[in-house]
Structure 1
């Protein structure tokens, strides 16, 4: 149970039952989780719950929201979903159509989110809505609300290619009344809240893929050491051994970039480009290494389970938390281009 192991509260405060860890130590724990857990989808679900949902409650939640939600999120007693993406607003978050209008002492939400990890089983939904259409970046607000509020509709699990252990679905808000205490930060601060949560997610979440790749590399080396063809171990053929060396190079290069991004986040230094570099390196290494692992294992690598599942679980890593193309735009901007 991830909650009993403390994984659902790694970087949450100790006074609510969390581990009180910084970004780097959180990443190291998630890396170990990814290495030891055969279900990468489960590890992803836990990381998304913690980094995209519990972290903004930790840092922007009202006292009442923190008292109501944070300890249960840390213990894994409440499951959180991050509902940001819409059908027409993925990388272009400025195209968001979900609205939150003032009503009495709170807000009324209307709209639909199209891709929310953990949504079908969520007890808490962290979501974003336009509160001032004329204000652009400053016209979006963030909320952490119980899924049991009137007007919240959680959709069925989407039939995904991979990450089966993390159920994802749509979330609809229909005249949903949201009390003021579930607002994260101030009204109009939603874009900043989202960027903050993404900083933690981009820096730390991808450590689960480092763990997966470490487990994968061990499996491939073992296979290449024992599988024989033409009277020799296949690891004796340069076509195989050099491919495995390249898998290690990708893994360890990505690992160092991720550790640096987390350290910069812990030190409150500029981490945007470092996190983008890390995110690209880890996600693209996971896809490339998984493809190589399937090739080396041959027919057995194409079976469900093992490296076949790892390949399916790796493919979406270049999409979520900002596509590889968006990360390259952030890096180009950092270079002054």
Structure 2
């Protein structure tokens, strides 16, 4: 059992952290529309981040789950705009993997090169007002009509949607078949019958725009179907395994940077004539933050390693997802306490780290859903 990274992995990680800091590391960058712009997206793409796990033949990095996670960890550590990191990860893991593994060859040739290069931005549109954790309760329908499917329905929360070029979405094609009656599609945004809202106002991850998507008699050529009809639930679960396993590495990177800043702060900040770090109440808080970070990191790396071995382990994925997301929130609260009043102020960026961490227990399956998975896999 080897817990060490290879020299190549360590070099790639440190080089990527440096490159991200140099090109995307300006603190508190102002977004005219409150979210990332295409220039920032193209910068991330130039570092290979939009195509990490896509095939090399399409311009991707051809990486496995662990190396993809390490790259997103480096991205999360070096970039202060966690919303941009999240948007890239959602594009890659929830959208591009579905196209990579389930689209037909012509559609793969049409879309994957652009997705890898960052020319095309993908949005994942599955959540509905009455179908969040219950993905089987979709109301959006797709009716076959000749060479097309006609989509009708509304999605309530689609990350990247306001700036997207393609939408990966899911609809009911056979209402009587339950979860076997859902089909996945990759839908070019330029098709008639698609309406996307302005970005939703959110507590955190402001750099990633999210919006509502309405399909009204939207005719989608059948070639854009993902997999066979009725395979949508399997397509979704496959892409979610990638997202739940790799995306949360960005929070490991965020926590690394956060902990580093906290340690530097308590070494230099003095109260009562002593550095803050001399006080046990502070030093122990730092120790607990380190414990959470390392525990979460090991669970995430293990889940990625199992995936690279071709082993589907739902418990490992759910344990990692819960551990990372809860650690990110708890460490965010501790960081604010360590920085005191300055941590509550926007210019330090500490309060933003907490706000960006809060939704991590909601997306990609709530903490409650993942604890249900863990309990069921344990035999309950």
What TM bracket, shorter-length normalisation?
Answer: over 0.9
In 2, the alpha carbon distance for the partners of 1:203 and 1:225 equals 35
Does 2:184 correspond to 1:142? yes
Matches within 5 A, 1:232-271: 232-271=274-313
In 2, the alpha carbon distance for the partners of 1:46 and 1:116 equals 13
Does 2:358 correspond to 1:328? no
Match of 1:65 among 84, 107, 110: 107
Unaligned runs of 5+ in 2: 1-42
Offset at residue 145 of structure 1 (A)? 1.0
Does 2:339 correspond to 1:307? no
Hey, what does 2:200 align to over in structure 1?
Answer: 158
Q: Deviations over 1:285-311 (max 9, x none)?
A: 000000000001001100114111000
| TM-score scaled by length of structure 1 | 0.99
Over the aligned positions, Cα root-mean-square deviation in angstroms equals 0.6
Offset at residue 268 of structure 1 (A)? 1.0
Does 2:251 correspond to 1:209? yes
Q: Deviations over 1:236-257 (max 9, x none)?
A: 1110000010000000100000
Hey, what does 1:169 align to over in structure 2?
Answer: 211
Does 2:341 correspond to 1:287? no
3-state secondary structure, aligned to 1:321 = coil
3-state secondary structure, aligned to 2:325 = helix
Offset at residue 270 of structure 1 (A)? 2.6
In 2, the alpha carbon distance for the partners of 1:199 and 1:103 equals 32
In 2, the alpha carbon distance for the partners of 1:67 and 1:201 equals 23
Runs of 4+ aligned structure 1 residues displaced above 3 Å come to none
Match of 2:67 among 18, 22, 25: 25
Unaligned runs of 5+ in 1: none
Q: Deviations over 1:116-143 (max 9, x none)?
A: 0000001000000000000011100000
Match of 1:132 among 174, 189, 201: 174
In 2, the alpha carbon distance for the partners of 1:251 and 1:184 equals 37
Hey, what does 2:224 align to over in structure 1?
Answer: 182
3-state secondary structure, aligned to 1:33 = helix
In 1, the alpha carbon distance for the partners of 2:239 and 2:320 equals 16
In 2, the alpha carbon distance for the partners of 1:204 and 1:211 equals 12
3-state secondary structure, aligned to 2:186 = strand
Hey, what does 1:227 align to over in structure 2?
Answer: 269
Q: How many residues align?
A: 337
